[in-house]
Amino acid sequence: MAVRKYKPTSPGRRFMSVSEFEEITKSKPEKKLTKAKRKKGGRNNKGRITMRRRGGGHRQRIRIVDFRRQRDGVPAKVVAIEYDPIRSARLALLHFPDGRKAYIIAPDKVEVGNILVCGSGAKIETGNVIPLRDIPVGLMVHCVEMRPGKGAQVARAAGAGAQILAKEGKYAHIRLPSGEVRLFHLDCRATVGEVGNKDHNNITLGKAGRKRWLGRRSKVRGVAMNPNDHPHGGGEGKTSGGRHPCTPWGKPTKGYKTRRKKPSDKLIVRRRRQ
């Protein structure tokens, strides 16, 4: 994949870059594998805004992705690589011998015509889904399950990959894309290889309007607000806050730890931030 840069014909074009989409082989999705995406503007079921700066954006349809991939031993052929508007990774469309179709996260270097297989008897090849106990140490994987049978949850973004560092007892030590080292049960499945579309992080939006197309509204600084809107607001002239960074509701931020104790904490060997 390559990134295309524009000539600076306007301020918005000066730093804008887009994907070449050279790996895309199909323009329209499988209708039966999509469903409508209802816009909520960051609101919950009570109508209250629980996530700020959300709203608007282009119309999108959700692609139904098969994260479980439990059809063991059944070979599936990659017939297309498609674009997904709600995620950074590309999707691969699989056709099974019985006529069924499914979307998966497109692994890097997987092309149209490749045959992918799931299960413990599958070969160690890019795109195949295999239990962690059968994958050699040192290999890069993606779409890793956190609990056996639940479906892929880890390393699903564009260019993401996790490395198997060691196996001890019934757990495997895996280094995640964030740098965190975590224990995964050996019965959990993972897809061999890394996620495609690696140049996604090199894309620059270039203008605020392109951010709005994604449904993300502008962010207003707290020091630019009034005292009744934010603890940093008000004051004579321009100020830099006058207190430690906080949310509009007074909760500390920028380094303040909010993670609660969870049963899964015992599975974290090394955190991403020491």
Q: Three-class SS of residue 220?
A: coil
11-29 confidence digits (pLDDT tens): 999 999 999 999 999 999 9
CA–CA separation, 56 vs 213, rounded Å? 7
Task: Note the CATH number of domain 3-201.
Answer: 2.40.50.140
133-187 confidence digits (pLDDT tens): 999 999 999 999 999 999 999 999 999 999 999 999 999 999 999 999 999 999 9
Q: What is the pLDDT of residue 240?
A: 87
pLDDT at 58 over 70: yes
Note whether 214 and 54 are within 8 A (CB).
no
Note whether 112 and 91 are within 8 A (CB).
no
DSSP assignment letter at 259 = P
Work out the percent of the chain whose per-residue pLDDT is above 90. Answer: 92
Q: Where in the chain is the domain with CATH 4.10.950.10?
A: 222-265
Beta bridge partners of 17: 5
State which H helix or E strand residue 239 sits in. Answer: none
DSSP assignment letter at 217 = -
Beta strand pairing call for 115-116 and 129-131: unpaired
Q: What is the pLDDT of residue 62?
A: 97
pLDDT at 79 over 80: yes
- Displacement of CA 25 from its chain's centroid (Å): 22
**Mean pLDDT, the chain, integer:** 95
Q: Across residues 261-270, what is the average pLDDT?
A: 93
Handedness of CA 144, 146, 152, 155 (dihedral sign): negative
Note whether 35 and 57 are within 8 A (CB).
no
pLDDT at 195 over 70: yes
Q: Across residues 31-58, what is the average pLDDT?
A: 96
Q: Compute how many other C-beta atoms are within 10 angstroms of the C-beta atom of residue 142.
A: 26
Q: Residue 223 corresponds to which tokens in the numbers above?
A: 């020091």
pLDDT at 47 over 80: yes
Q: What is the pLDDT of residue 1?
A: 65
Give the helix ranges, DSSP H, for the chain: 208-213
Q: What is the pLDDT of residue 258?
A: 85
64-74 confidence digits (pLDDT tens): 999 999 999 99
DSSP 42-107: TB-TTS-BSSSSB------EEE-B-SS---TT--EEEEEEE--TTSSS-EEEEE-TTS-EEEEE-B
Beta bridge partners of 10: none
Reference 171, options 160, 181, 156, 157; nearest CA is 181
111-122 confidence digits (pLDDT tens): 999 999 999 989
268-273 contacts at long range (C-beta below 8 A, 24 or more positions apart):
268/180, 268/181, 268/182, 268/183, 269/173, 269/181, 269/182, 269/183, 270/180, 270/181, 271/180, 272/176, 272/178, 272/179, 272/180
- pLDDT band at residue 257 using 50, 70 and 90 as cut-offs: confident
The reported pTM is 0.91
Q: Where in the chain is the domain with CATH 2.40.50.140?
A: 3-201
pLDDT at 43 over 70: yes
At residue 198's C-alpha, the angle toward residues 70 and 173, to 5°, is 55
* The CATH fold of domain 222-265: Ribosomal protein L2; domain 3 (4.10.950)
81-110 confidence digits (pLDDT tens): 999 999 999 999 999 999 999 999 999 999
Q: What is the pLDDT of residue 242?
A: 86
Q: What is the pLDDT of residue 273?
A: 79
Q: What is the pLDDT of residue 82?
A: 97
